[in-house]
Chains A and B, each alone.
Chain A
Amino acid sequence: MTIQSSRTEDAGAPRTRANILLAAIRYVFLRVGVLPFFLVFSLVVFSLISNQFLSIQNLTNVARQSVYLVLVSLGQMLVLITGGFDLSVGTAIAMTSVVSAMAMVALAPVMPDMIWLAILLGAGAGLGAALLIGCLNGLGIAQFDVSPFIMTLGVQSVGAGIALFLTGGVPISGLPYDFGNFFGFGRVLGIPVPVMIALLAIVGIWLLMNRTKLGSHIYAVGGNVRAANLSGVNTKRVLFLAYVLCALLASLAGLLLTARVESGETNLGGTIALESIAACVIGGVSLRGGLGRVENVVLGAFFIVLLQNGMNIAQIGSYMQMVLLGSLLVLAVILDQFRYRMLVGDR
Chain B
Amino acid sequence: MDNANTPLVEMTRISKEFPGVKALDGVDFRLQRGEVHVLFGENGAGKSTLISILSGLYRPTSGSLRIDGEEVDLRSVHDAARHGIGTVFQEFSLIPTLRVFENVYLGRELKRGPLTDRRAMAEGARALFHDLGFEIDIRRRVSTLSRAEQQMVEIAKVFLGKARVLILDEPTASLTEKETRKLFAFIAKAKADGVGIIYISHRIQEFREIADNISVLRDGRLIGTVSARDTSEKTLVELMTGRAIDQIYPEIGRQPDGRTLMTLRRMHGAGFHGVDIDVRAGEVLGVAGLVGSGKSRIWRSVLGLQPIRSGTVTLKGRDVTHAATRHMLRGGVYYLPPDRKGEGLQLAATARENIKLNLLGRAEIVGRLGIVAPRRARALADKIGERVGIASAHMGRIVSKLSGGNQQKVLFGKGFGEERDIYIFDEPTVGVDMGTRAALYRLIKEIAEAGKAVVVISSDLPEVMNLTHRLLVFSKGRVSAELTGTEIAEENVLKYFFAETGIQP
Among the stretches A70-78, A170-178, A208-216, A311-319, the one at the interface with B is: A208-216
Asked whether, in the complex, the Cβ of A213 is within 8 Å of the Cβ of B366, the reply is: yes
Any chain B CB within 8 A of the CB of A226? yes
A243 to chain B, nearest CB (A): 19
Q: In the complex, what's the smallest C-beta–C-beta distance from A237 to chain B, in angstroms? A: 10
Cα–Cα distance between A344 and B400 once the two chains are bound (Å)? 5
Shortest distance from the beta carbon of B408 to any chain A beta carbon, whole Å: 14
Instruction: Indicate which residue in B325, B366, B400 contacts A229 across the interface (CB closer than 8 Å).
Output: B325
Q: Does A220 belong to the interface (CB within 8 Å)?
A: yes
Q: Tell me which residues across on chain A come within 8 A of B369, comparing CB atoms.
A: 212
How distant is the Cα of A210 from the Cα of B370 in the complex, in angstroms?
Answer: 11
**Which residues of B are found within 8 Å of A232, using beta-carbon distances?**
325-326, 329-330, 358, 361
Which listed residue (A4, A231, A286) contacts B18, Cβ 8 A?
Answer: A4
- Determine whether A234 belongs to the interface, using a CB cutoff of 8 Å to chain B: yes
Which of B128-136, B247-255, B265-273, B346-354 interfaces with chain A?
B346-354
Complex Cα spacing A214 to B360, Å: 10
- Nearest chain A residue, comparing its CB with the CB of B377: A216
**Would B344 and A216 count as touching, CB distance under 8 A?**
no
Is B370 within 8 A of A224, CB to CB? no
Please tell me if A233 contacts chain B, counting CB pairs below 8 Å.
yes
Interface contact B325-A219, CB-CB below 8 Å: no
A11, A211, A232 interface centre (most CB from chain B within 10 Å)? A232
CB–CB A219/B19 < 8 A: no
Asked if A4 and B19 sit within 8 Å, CB to CB, the answer is yes
A345 touches B400 (CB 8 A): yes
Contacts of B401 in A (CB 8 A): 344-345
* A231–B372 alpha-carbon span in the complex (Å): 17
Do A213 and B346 have beta carbons less than 8 Å apart? no
Q: Report A-chain residues with C-beta under 8 Å of the C-beta of B326.
A: 229, 232-234
Instruction: Tell whether, in the assembled complex, residue B374 and residue A211 are in contact, meaning their CB atoms are under 8 Å apart.
Output: yes
Please tell me if the beta carbons of B357 and A216 are within 8 angstroms of each other in the complex. yes
Contact B348 A340 (CB under 8 A): yes
Q: Which residue of B lies closest to A236 (CB)?
A: B324
Q: Which residue of B lies closest to A10 (CB)?
A: B19
Q: By CB atoms of chain A within 10 A, which of B344, B346, B356, B400 has the most?
A: B346
What chain B residues lie within 8 Å of A192 (beta carbons)? none
A228 and B357 contacting across the interface, CB-CB below 8 Å: yes
Contact residues in A for B349 (Cβ distance below 8 Å): 219, 223, 290
Residue contact A8 to B360, C-beta cutoff 8 Å: no
Main secondary structure of the interface of A (DSSP, over half): helix
* Complex-state Cα separation, A1 to B372, whole angstroms: 42
In the bound complex, residues from chain B placing their C-beta under 8 Å from that of A230 are 303, 305, 325, 329, 335, 337, 343-344
B398: Cβ under 8 A from any A Cβ: yes
Min distance, Cβ A198 to any Cβ of chain B, angstroms: 23
Q: Kindly identify, within residues 282 to 311 of chain B, every residue whose CB is under 8 Å from any CB belonging to chain A.
A: 303, 305
Judge whether A216 and B372 touch: CB under 8 Å: yes
**Residues on the B chain within 8 Å of A207, using CB:** 371
- Interchain nearest-CB distance for B329 vs A (Å): 4
Among A224, A226, A286, A344, residue most surrounded by chain B Cβ atoms (within 10 Å):
A224
CA distance A300 to B454 in the complex (A): 49
Which of A4, A213, A226 interacts with B343 by CB under 8 Å? A226
Q: Which residue of A lies closest to B369 (CB)?
A: A212
Chain A positions within 8 Å of B357 at CB level: 216, 220, 228, 231, 233
Q: Considering the chains assembled together, what is the distance between the CA atoms of A186 and B98 in angstroms?
A: 66
Smallest Cβ-Cβ distance to A7: which chain B residue: B19
Chain A: CB-nearest residue to B361? A232
B residues less than 8 Å from A340 (CB atoms)? 348
CB distance from B120 to the nearest CB of A (A): 37
CB distance A224 to B345 under 8 Å?
yes
How far apart sit A229 and B370, CA to CA, in the bound complex (Å)? 18
On whether A223 and B348 interact (CB within 8 A), knowing A212-B371, A345-B401, the answer reads yes
Q: How far is the CB of B263 from chain A (nearest CB, A)?
A: 22
Q: Which residues of A contact B19 (CB under 8 A)?
A: 4, 7-8, 11
Q: Mark B306-347, 1 if CB is under 8 A from A, else 0.
A: 000000000000000000111001100001010000111111
* A188 interfacial contact with B, CB 8 Å: no
Residues on B with beta carbons closer than 8 Å to the beta carbon of A214? 370
A1 to B75, CA, bound (A): 12
Shortest Cβ distance from A106 into chain B, in angstroms?
37
Find out whether the CB atom of A213 lies under 8 angstroms from the CB atom of B360.
yes
* Measured CA separation A214–B356 after assembly (Å): 13
A291 within 8 A of B: yes
- Answer whether residue A44 sits at the interface, using C-beta atoms and an 8 A cutoff: no
- Is A45 engaged at the interface, CB distance under 8 Å to the other chain? no
Q: How far apart are the CA atoms of A216 and B358 in the complex, in Å? A: 10
Complex Cα gap A220–B354 (Å): 9
| In the complex, chain B residues whose CB is within 8 Å of the CB of A334 | none
User: Could you tell me if A224 and B343 are in contact, using CB atoms closer than 8 angstroms?
Assistant: yes
A233 to B400, CA, bound (A): 21
Measured CB to CB, the closest approach of chain B to A288, in angstroms, equals 8
Residues in chain B near residue A215, CB distance under 8 A: 372
Q: Compute how far the CA of A220 lies from the CA of B19 in the bound complex, rounded to whole angstroms.
A: 30
Tell me how far the C-beta of B8 lies from the nearest C-beta in chain A, rounded to whole angstroms: 27
In whole angstroms, what is the CA distance A230 to B304 when docked? 10
The interface bits of chain B over 366-399 (1 if a CB of A lies within 8 angstroms of the residue's CB, else 0) are: 1001111010000000000000000000000010
A158 CB within 8 Å of chain B:
no
A4 to B337, CA, bound (A): 30
Chain B residues closer than 8 Å to A11, beta-carbon distance: 19
Residue of A nearest to B335 (CB): A230
Is B47 in contact with chain A by the CB < 8 A criterion? Answer: no
| A225 CB to nearest B CB, Å | 10
Q: Is B325 within 8 A of A211, CB to CB?
A: no
User: B360–A227 contact, CB under 8 A?
Assistant: no
In the assembled complex, the Cα of A291 lies from the Cα of B346 at a distance in Å of 11
Task: Name the interface residues of B135-177: CB closer than 8 Å to any CB of A.
Answer: none
Q: Return the chain A residue nearest B401 by Cβ.
A: A345
Kindly state the separation between the CA atoms of A116 and B476 in the bound complex, as whole angstroms. 71
Chain A residues with CB under 8 Å of B374's CB are 210-211
Q: Which of A212, A233, A288 contacts B372 (CB 8 A)?
A: A212
Contacts of A7 in B (CB 8 A): 19
Interface assignment of A320: CB less than 8 Å from any CB of chain B = no
A290 & B346 in contact (Cβ 8 Å cutoff)? yes
A37 to chain B minimum Cβ distance, whole angstroms, is 21
Question: Cβ of A56 < 8 Å from any Cβ of B?
Answer: no
Min C-beta distance of B347 to chain A, whole Å: 5
1/0 per residue, CB under 8 A from B, across A220-260: the answer is: 10011011111111100000000000000000000000000
The smallest C-beta distance from B332 to any residue of chain A, in angstroms, reads: 11
B372 CB contacts on chain A under 8 angstroms: 211-213, 215-216
Chain B, residue nearest A11 (CB): B19
Q: How far is the CB of B22 from chain A (nearest CB, A)?
A: 12
Closest residue of A by beta carbon distance from B336:
A230
Cα distance, A216 to B305, chains bound together (Å): 22
- 11 new A-B contacts, CB < 8 A, other than A207-B371, A344-B347, are A1-B58, A212-B372, A213-B366, A214-B370, A220-B346, A223-B349, A230-B343, A288-B348, A290-B346, A290-B348, A344-B348
The 5 A-B pairs with the shortest beta carbon distances in the complex, nearest first, are: A223-B346, A232-B329, A213-B370, A226-B343, A232-B326
Can you list 24 contacts pairing A with B, beta carbon distance less than 8 Å?
A: A7-B19, A212-B369, A213-B360, A213-B366, A214-B370, A216-B357, A216-B360, A220-B346, A224-B345, A226-B342, A227-B337, A230-B335, A230-B337, A232-B325, A232-B329, A233-B326, A233-B357, A234-B326, A290-B346, A291-B348, A340-B348, A343-B400, A344-B347, A344-B401
